[in-house]
Amino acid sequence: MTMKNKKETKSAPILFQMMIYAAILFISQMISSMMPASFPVPTPVIGLVLLYVLLTAHVIKIEWVDSFGSAMISMIGFLFVPSGISLAANLDIMKAQGVQLVLVILLATIILLVVTAYTARAFGWIKQKFGERHAESQVSQSTVGGDKQ
Amino acid sequence: MSYLTNPLFGVFLSLAVFMIGQWLFKKSKGFFLFQPLFVSMVLGIVILVILGKTFGVDTAQVYTQAYKPGGDIIFWFLTPATIAFAVPLYKRNDVVKKNWGIILSSLIIGTVVSLFAITIVAKAFGLDKVGVASMLSQSATTAIALPLTTAIGGNASITAMACILNAVIIYALGKQLVKWFKLKDDPVGAGLGLGTAGHTIGSAFALEMGSAEGAMAAVAVVVIGLVDNMLIPVFAHVIGL
């Protein structure tokens, strides 16, 4: 039991984890600055892809980045507070056409959520419909395989 | 006002308003308007307005001189927090590998449909050309959205406001929206939608729904930025902005 617990909580020291994050961000920042001005790709986007690729390629082990990353994600609501308060700098725009803008943004948010979700659902349905025959043959193959074992 | 220009003021104010938000949210048993982020945003702006009135200076000036130095320190940590989404993404690699076709096609088609819908809504509410242009790239992360807006003739600070409000709206209304539009039984769609509409905050929300939703939202945050980068200049040209 204690052995199992130890294995589950096994994670690299926090400073080591921070170093990994810093290294990835440093490299991402260099890549980001090389992108053309007409096609900007920000550091966090490159960093996310880079970390994901390195994890998938097993260059970075999950326990090197797991607990620090989870801690950061759990704080993300708080980390967004300065962005929210930054609207204080644009109160003029809000006074001029604030109600209109907020309503359009509210509707746009709902449009983005619902359109994307339903498009994905439609494609999922198409894939299921057209992949049925393929999936069936795969299922029968795996049952045969299962029988052998 | 000089002793407020120390960054510690901004750091303290952010923490204090967020704590009040969390307390209110708990006390009201999760009333959606008392979402900690929304409360801290409103409360923080109100405090800055009051400070401005007290010292007889413009609110924007109070923001830049007193709040921003501390706010920037907290804001900086959003970068490592964003790349940390690679972890839940990697943990659900199975979902990603199985659905990459759906992910790409629905984010591209979804963006085209959304762009038309947003343009119609913006025009119906009487926004001018600049206003419409500022609404288009809000699904991308701020660092992609702002230069895009400038390139198609919009006002970058309106887009910045939109990107922030997207996240606040998803954070505050996410539960209701998921229920109203019955998104719960389709983890791929729900995750992609939440990541597109709510950016990183949407991803954190999706992660609370489930690991598959969280992974899909993280993918959406990355891919939607690149899709917007390619499609929006073309779209703006087509509708004649």
Q: Does A82 touch chain B (CB under 8 A)?
A: yes
SS3 (DSSP) at B87? helix
What is the C-alpha separation between B224 and B191, in angstroms, rounded?
A: 13
Quick one: which H or E segment has residue A84? helix A81-85
What is the C-alpha separation between A116 and B89, in angstroms, rounded?
A: 19
With CB atoms and an 8 Å threshold, state whether A84 touches B164: yes
What is the C-alpha separation between B184 and B4, in angstroms, rounded?
A: 46
How far CA B118 is from CA of A99, B109, B133, B228, in Å, comes to 16, 14, 10, 14
How close is the nearest chain B Cα to the Cα of A129, in Å? 13
For B36, other C-beta atoms within 10 Å of its C-beta total: 23
pLDDT tens digits along A17-64: 999 999 999 999 999 999 887 777 888 889 999 999 999 999 999 999
pLDDT-derived band of residue A9, with 50, 70 and 90 as boundaries?
A: low
Structure token pair of residue A111: 């449009």
pLDDT at residue B130 is higher than 50? yes
> What pLDDT is attached to residue B196?
95
Please state the φ and ψ torsions of residue A13, each to the nearest 5 degrees.
-55, 145
All residues at 6 or more sequence positions from B120 whose CB lies less than 8 Å from its CB, including other chains: none
Q: Which of residues 82-121 of B touch A (CB under 8 A)?
A: 82-91, 93, 99, 101-103, 105-107, 109-111, 113-114, 117-118, 121
Contact A72, B81 (CB under 8 A): yes
> What pLDDT is attached to residue A127?
85
Contact B161, A105 (CB under 8 A): yes
Residue keyed to tokens 């007409």: A38
Chain A residue with Cα closest to B176: A110
Contact B83, A51 (CB under 8 A): yes
> What pLDDT is attached to residue A140?
46
Nearest to B193 among A28, A92, A113 (CB): A113
ipTM: 0.87
Contact B170, B201 (CB under 8 A): yes
Nearest to A116 among B72, B106, B158 (CB): B106
Angle of helix B211-238 relative to helix B93-124, nearest 10 degrees, comes to 40
Which amino acid would we find at residue B85?
Answer: F
Interface probe, candidates A28, A76, A129, chain B, greatest B C-beta count within 10 A: A76
What is the C-alpha separation between B38 and B171, in angstroms, rounded?
A: 8
pLDDT tens digits along B13-44: 999 999 999 999 999 988 878 888 889 999 99
DSSP label at A38?
T
Contact B228, B139 (CB under 8 A): yes
pLDDT at residue A4 is higher than 70? no
What is the C-alpha separation between B166 and B118, in angstroms, rounded?
A: 13
pLDDT tens digits along B165-211: 898 899 889 989 999 999 998 999 999 999 999 998 999 999 999 99
Residues in chain A: 149
Which amino acid would we find at residue A130?
Answer: F
pLDDT-derived band of residue A5, with 50, 70 and 90 as boundaries?
A: very low
pLDDT at residue B132 is higher than 90? yes
Contact A119, B79 (CB under 8 A): no
Contacts of B38 in chain A (CB under 8 A): 84
pLDDT-derived band of residue B240, with 50, 70 and 90 as boundaries?
A: confident
> What pLDDT is attached to residue B31?
84
Nearest to B45 among A49, A88, A117 (CB): A88
For B101, other C-beta atoms within 10 Å of its C-beta total: 13
